[in-house]
Amino acid sequence: MNPSELTVRTRGLTKRYGAKLALDGVDLSVPRGTVHGLLGPNGAGKTTTVRILATLTRSDAGEASVAGYDVRTQPRQVRSSIGLVGQQTAIDDKLSARQNLTTFGRLFRLDRASARRRADELLEIFGLQESSGRSPKTFSGGMRRRLDLAASMILAPAVLFLDEPTTGLDPAGRREVWQAVRELAAQGTTVLMTTHYLDEADQLCDRISVIDHGRNFIEDTPAGLKRRIGDERLEVAVADPDALSGVADLVAGVTGLEVTVDREAGRTSVAVPDGVAALTAVASRIQAEQIEISDIGLRRPTLDEAFLHLTSEATR
């Protein structure tokens, strides 16, 4: 990819805290207008990477640029091009939602009229118009997080850094934040986010870098990461345990593949390269032979399974 198309780029990013090597040569390439996830265990180096890119921490070695600016030699230009949302919200409960956004606008040196105009625009974008006069302390967790996101967008940054954006939110609040992030990316903002929620990365990210022990040892799409631990599996469950062996033989004969039998669960499964074709063929054969089953379906690897598999491989 042409470097001019990349909004975030690092090469060999290294950071040491005393004897601990926090980052050990991290490479990132994030295209404009995409959502890129950083996944990894606690202490893997995710937050350190974000802090360096946001000019809050200096790297010891390597290169990094954000929105075309070098984070080491052009920190002021970088800061004018980014928004940062940390794990704790930065809004003031003594002010209304509109007053919060107007205050942030003034801090960013907008004149009074421009700050008010931008606050109204953001309240509409994030669906907070009806609550604009209320204190954030009366908001749900999702609403507070949306207001925090709105505050980070006062100057419509080219890049938005999100550090664990939905920590502590209930499912409804998480969905609200997900929708806001999708809309920001659709408008052209590049989003780099850290998260511990694998379903969140699966829902939002165009690409994911898996980081462990300070190194990003793999990068792929969510679907690509899942494929790395194997094909999807065709599973057939029987109501009568005595029919299990016969069903296993049938599945093996139709697919020509090795079948796994779980007698305790009354289920057979087989990894198949073309799940839909295998499902259709096996279901037709079962129907033709009038075999009674309790369930049949395709099971795809989850991102959780892929993450655990890949990080355990990295540890080994």
CATH 3.40.50.300: which residues of the chain? 3-227
Residue-wise pLDDT for 186-203, tens only, equals 988 999 999 888 888 888
Average pLDDT of span 149-170: 86
pLDDT band at 117 (very low <50, low <70, confident <90, very high): very high
Average pLDDT of span 226-235: 77
Residue 37 pLDDT exceeds 60: yes
Radius of gyration of the chain (CA): 24
CATH number for the region 233-300 comes to 3.30.70
pLDDT band at 4 (very low <50, low <70, confident <90, very high): low
pLDDT band at 171 (very low <50, low <70, confident <90, very high): confident
Residue 265 pLDDT exceeds 90: no
pLDDT band at 233 (very low <50, low <70, confident <90, very high): confident
Average pLDDT of span 87-98: 88
CATH 3.30.70: which residues of the chain? 233-300
pTM confidence score: 0.75
Residue 312 pLDDT exceeds 70: no
Domain 3-227 has CATH 3.40.50.300: yes
pLDDT band at 167 (very low <50, low <70, confident <90, very high): confident
Residue 83 pLDDT exceeds 60: yes
